[in-house]
């Protein structure tokens, strides 16, 4: 699994450009074109200026990388996240911002993962993509890419306006680890129900400065060790003891994300509480997140969540499942169980409300 650099002609030189942005093309709907038979295949990204001549007018210099074999985002893996993080690190000093073109299906997972992997980030990393290929006359790819590039290059007092990992889609900039894909047929594919948009693009880009997370320091540190010994268990009426135990009895399991109802509520069946107590006693971390796209887990608010808290289940508060999963991947690979339990409930990269 490799990336290759692509030469793109017809854009600004680094010497005369107002900013330098790295574009990393991973695949997805954005960059599809038709072959001789009419089937959709990844297009040659070196021809991006032909598809999007407006890019010449941005006053930016570009470095373009592509996955050697562009992938559908359904095939994204932690190894791809590691590769993305390493490309950003290796080109960090020479660029003002980064734009990752990514399929929409797993974009929120990648954005969440990178927010925890790129510690000390002080430059924009903007993920974007499209619901329709760039060759389609009605494609949303053009506006998404143009504005993502503008945001990646945007500075005030020589500092990045948005020094964090974000998703830009359908005229809104969202914090990456607060985002979820919520739509497959409309252009407004993403939402961050528990956090306001960081910017909205109209005639001008209107930044919500109060919502943007400021960089803590200028030294970028990568956390590329990831542990995926995690299960996601979504509760539903009628869930059986056998199904739950089949998950909990996996000896390689290190953490479970428990998707509960409403404000963190679960059935009070004695077998479920006992199963949770036993798996937690074994050292497995269990984190409670809500199935609702908005609101938060408040363990103990109702009797149906009080027993979870007493069993040792941790509150994910208003974290998305995507953020909880990728946060745990990073924590499990870098800390012992006691430290992980403490850090899960702490806000590390803007994923939790204070």
CA distance to 129, 245, 252, per residue, from 272 (Å): 41, 9, 20
- pLDDT value at 153 more than 70: yes
Q: How many CA atoms lie within 13 A of 221 on its CB side?
A: 8
Q: How many domains does the chain have?
A: 2
pLDDT in tens, 286-332: 999 999 988 899 987 877 788 999 999 999 999 999 999 999 999 99
Task: List active site positions.
Answer: 29
pLDDT of residue 267: 92
Judge if 125 and 180 occupy the same domain: yes
Is 267 in contact with 275 (CB distance < 8 Å)? no
pLDDT in tens, 6-52: 877 666 777 788 999 999 999 877 766 666 676 666 666 666 766 67
Tokens of 298: 């408040």
Is 327 in contact with 317 (CB distance < 8 Å)? no
Judge if 145 and 241 occupy the same domain: no
Helix (H/G/I), strand (E/B), else coil: 22: strand
Q: Which burial class, exposed, middle or buried, applies to 148 when counting CB atoms under 10 A from its CB (0-12, 13-18, 19+)?
A: buried
Q: How many residues does the chain have?
A: 354
- C-alpha span between 62 and 334 (Å, rounded): 34
Q: What is the pTM of this model?
A: 0.94
Is 299 in contact with 288 (CB distance < 8 Å)? yes
- C-alpha span between 350 and 74 (Å, rounded): 26
Helix (H/G/I), strand (E/B), else coil: 275: helix
Residue 350 lies inside a defined structural domain of this protein = no
Residue 34 lies inside a defined structural domain of this protein = yes
Helix (H/G/I), strand (E/B), else coil: 341: helix
Residue 160 lies inside a defined structural domain of this protein = yes
Tokens of 107: 């974009």
Judge if 110 and 17 occupy the same domain: yes
Q: Find the domain containing 157 and state its range.
A: 3-222
Judge if 67 and 215 occupy the same domain: yes
């Amino acid at each position: 699994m490799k990336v290759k650099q692509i030469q793109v002609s017809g854009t600004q030189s680094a010497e005369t450009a107002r900013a330098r942005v790295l574009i990393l093309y991973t695949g997805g709907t954005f960059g599809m074109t038709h072959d001789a038979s009419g089937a959709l295949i990844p297009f040659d990204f070196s021809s991006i200026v032909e598809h999007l001549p407006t890019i010449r007018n941005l006053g930016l210099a570009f470095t373009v990388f592509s996955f050697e074999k562009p992938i559908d985002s359904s095939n994204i893996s932690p190894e791809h996240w590691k590769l993305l993080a390493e490309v950003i690190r290796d080109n960090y000093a020479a660029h003002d911002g980064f734009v990752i073109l990514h399929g929409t299906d797993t974009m929120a997972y990648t954005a969440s993962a990178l927010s925890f992997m790129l510690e000390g980030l002080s430059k924009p990393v903007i993920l974007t993509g499209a619901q329709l290929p760039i060759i389609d006359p009605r494609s949303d790819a053009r506006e998404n890419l143009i504005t993502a590039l503008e945001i990646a290059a945007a500075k005030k007092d020589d500092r990045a306006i948005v020094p964090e990992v974000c998703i830009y889609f359908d005229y809104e900039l969202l914090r990456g680890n607060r985002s979820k894909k919520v739509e497959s047929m409309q252009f407004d594919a993403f939402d961050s129900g528990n956090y306001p948009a960081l910017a909205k693009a109209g005639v001008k880009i209107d930044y919500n400065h109060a919502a943007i997370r400021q960089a803590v320091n200028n030294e970028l540190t990568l956390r590329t060790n990831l542990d995926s010994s995690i299960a996601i268990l979504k509760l539903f009426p009628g869930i059986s003891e056998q199904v739950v135990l089949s998950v909990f009895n996996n000896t390689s399991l290190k953490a479970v994300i428990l998707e509960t109802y409403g404000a963190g509520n679960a059935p009070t069946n004695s077998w479920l509480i006992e199963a949770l107590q036993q798996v937690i006693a074994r050292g497995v971390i269990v984190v409670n997140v809500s199935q609702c796209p908005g609101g938060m887990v408040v363990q103990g608010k109702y009797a149906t969540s009080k027993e979870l808290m007493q069993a040792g289940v941790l509150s994910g508060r208003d974290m998305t499942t995507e953020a909880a999963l990728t946060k745990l991947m990073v924590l499990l690979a870098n800390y012992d169980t006691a430290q992980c339990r403490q850090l899960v409930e702490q806000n590390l990269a803007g994923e939790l409300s204070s």
